[in-house]
């Protein structure tokens, strides 16, 4: 994943509560085999059904290149469909700001290099107003703050483990390998002695299988 340290972009306002994963990425596109290109199907129904004189927000400048999204309450609810986050990431969205998120969607964001930020009350209203006015918002993950075009700074808090993973561009497996590599290696070395058959190569496994075939049970 691409490390996330600081990002400045207009934020696309996608209002409306309870926008579920099927709205974000419709089920009929689940058969697409690759992550790359899924952004084309992001909010498919909202985009194709939008009136010609009022296109969906992600289909006109400057929001068609937005890397931040300000969404409504309970964004990403519904299924555990990880493709919803893949589509956002493929479109270029690196941060979604909302008053609340579907729990699984929230966790999937971190797994795929997308930062979900929970903002409520006046802070959320300020961010939504900035998005609607196409004013750039800076997300400084290293300094844990949001900076508005007015210069106003909004401190944010992100779970330390997840923040470190985003800063380094690591998913969960990458983070574990980076922080626990020595422990994993020590365990494997110990296991090689206690259970060596688990580490037999293909040739030895084939020989072992041949020996089993030759065993005759009366």
Q: What is the pLDDT of residues 27-85, one digit of tens each?
A: 999 988 888 999 999 999 999 999 989 999 999 999 999 999 999 999 999 989 999 99
- Evaluate if residue 13 carries a pLDDT over 60: yes
pTM of the model: 0.82
Query: What is the tens place of the pLDDT at every residue in 183-215?
Result: 888 888 888 889 887 887 776 666 655 655 555
Provide the residue ranges of all domains of the chain, joining segments of one domain with +: 6-158, 172-214
Spatial CA neighbour of 35 closest among 88, 97, 96, 109: 88
Report pLDDT for 214: 56
Beta-bridged to residue 20, according to DSSP, are 77
Q: How far is CA 172 from CA 61, 62, 113, in A?
A: 34, 33, 10
32 — phi, psi (to 5°)? -65, 130
Taking the C-alpha atoms of residue 21 and residue 50, their distance in angstroms, rounded to an integer, is: 19
The helix (run of H) or strand (run of E) holding residue 187 is helix 172-194
Can you name the CATH fold of 6-158?
A: Aconitase; domain 4 (3.20.19)
Q: Are the CB atoms for 154 and 144 separated by under 8 Å? A: no
Please state whether the peptide bond connecting residue 62 to the residue before it is cis, i.e. omega within 30 degrees of 0: yes
């Amino acid at each position: 994943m691409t490390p996330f340290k600081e990002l400045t972009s207009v934020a696309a306002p996608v209002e409306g509560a309870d926008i579920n994963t099927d709205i974000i990425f419709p089920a009929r596109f689940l058969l697409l085999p690759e992550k790359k290109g899924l952004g084309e199907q992001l909010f498919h129904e909202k985009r194709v059904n939008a009136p010609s004189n009022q296109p969906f927000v992600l289909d006109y400048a400057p929001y068609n290149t937005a890397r931040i999204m300000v969404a409504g309450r309970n964004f990403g609810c519904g299924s555990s469909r990880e493709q919803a986050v893949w589509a956002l990431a493929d479109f270029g969205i690196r941060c979604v700001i909302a008053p609340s998120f579907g729990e699984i969607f929230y966790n999937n964001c971190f797994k795929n290099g997308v930062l979900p930020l929970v903002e409520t009350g006046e802070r959320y209203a300020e961010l939504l107003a900035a998005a609607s006015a196409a004013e750039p918002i800076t997300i400084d993950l290293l300094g844990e703050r949001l900076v508005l075009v007015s210069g106003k700074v909004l401190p944010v808090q992100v779970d330390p483990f997840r923040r470190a993973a985003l800063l380094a561009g690591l998913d969960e497996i990458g983070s574990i390998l980076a922080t626990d590599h020595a422990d994993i290696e020590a365990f494997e070395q110990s296991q090689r002695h206690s259970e060596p058959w688990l580490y037999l190569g293909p040739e030895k496994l084939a020989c072992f299988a041949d020996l089993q075939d030759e065993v005759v049970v009366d």
